Amino acid sequence: MARPMVKPGTKVLDIVKAVENHILENASGMSFPCNVAINNIAAHYTSPVDDQTVIEEGDLVTVDCGAHVDGCISDSAFTIALNPDHEALVKASEDATRVAIRMMRPGAKLNTIGALIEDTIKSAGFEPIKQLSGHQLKEYELHGEKQVPCVSGKSEVLVEEGEVYAIETFASTGSGNVTDLPDPLIYQLLPIRVPVRFKGTKRFLGIARKEFKEFPFAKRWMAEHLRKAELELAIRELQKNGALLAHHILTEEEGEFVSQAEDTVIVTAKGAEKTT
């Protein structure tokens, strides 16, 4: 339902809210806030409360979202090129994800799959994003211990029957390296108990544990419950105590472009079965 909204003149905030509302009406909840990444942004951009960002002519736009039903997670992403010059970049990540899914079967080496992803993207004339990868999905756990890299490596970890994975690949016109931006818009509680001083922090913890559980959440969502000053103070206190993880916006160099393609699969004896 998000694809028709990706067009010049649409506010990113409108897309994000529409996707999130659709998921909340049809699933138990969000497993990750809806992300809308434009041009050189690779991951982790979701709208702040007052986001005025508008999709423009020629943009490359990725929509990435996650949902869960009673803790069972699905994760999916697609990229739309509003400039025909970027269609090959979109195809590169789509092809890489498709090839990786075909390789997902019991006994396959995740490193071998990563090498195939890298070869597919590079053969199209682009670079895979080295710091981002697909990941195992477990009940109420978005990022399991097994990773599906976008590049080759030395890991000997094998795929096993019954496992669930988010297979996601990223293709870039740049170097394939991303950097963190300040002022993250997505956070996640860590499974530890820490002492807190401020009433606002206690409210923050209560809301996050009840509403979002183990899943990442948008700062925008928490702003519906806490005043701005109260929210900022709670974030600072929890980060200082090591109880709050920030998912920073990740970007390629200015002027470059990044595409993404993602599907969720269950590994069966015969191969991978898509659920998204």
Active-site residue, 168 included: yes
Q: Are residues 152 and 238 located together in one domain of the fold?
A: no
Q: Are residues 137 and 229 located together in one domain of the fold?
A: no
Active-site residue, 254 included: no
Q: Is the pLDDT of residue 155 over 90?
A: no
Active-site residue, 262 included: yes
> 250 pLDDT band (50/70/90 cuts)?
very high
Question: Catalytic residue among 20, 51, 59, 75, which?
Answer: 75
pLDDT score for 1:
80
- Judge whether 1 and 18 are in contact, CB under 8 Å: yes
pLDDT score for 176:
98
Q: Are residues 256 and 194 located together in one domain of the fold?
A: no
pLDDT tens by residue, 183-221: 999 999 999 889 899 999 999 999 999 999 889 999 999
The domain of 190 spans 186-247
Residue 67 is part of a domain; what is its CATH number? 3.90.230.10
pLDDT tens by residue, 124-140: 999 999 999 999 999 99
Question: Catalytic residue among 94, 95, 127, 168, which?
Answer: 168
Q: What is the pTM (predicted TM-score) of this model?
A: 0.95
Question: Catalytic residue among 44, 68, 86, 135, which?
Answer: 135
Active-site residue, 75 included: yes
- Judge whether 56 and 37 are in contact, CB under 8 Å: no
Tokens 């600072």 appear where? 236
Active-site residue, 135 included: yes
Classify 223 as helix, strand or coil. Answer: coil
pLDDT tens by residue, 57-107: 999 999 999 999 999 999 999 999 999 999 999 999 999 999 999 999 999
- Judge whether 37 and 46 are in contact, CB under 8 Å: no
In this prediction, residues 174-180 reach a mean pLDDT of: 98
What whole-number distance in Å separates Cα of residue 34 and Cα of residue 63? Answer: 7
DSSP helix, strand, coil percent of the chain (3-state; round to 5): 30, 30, 40
Residue 211 is part of a domain; what is its CATH number? 1.10.10.10
Q: Is 140 left (phi over 0), alpha (psi -120 to 50) or beta?
A: left
For 84-88, 148-152, 193-197, 256-260, which range has the lowest pLDDT when averaged over its residues? Answer: 193-197
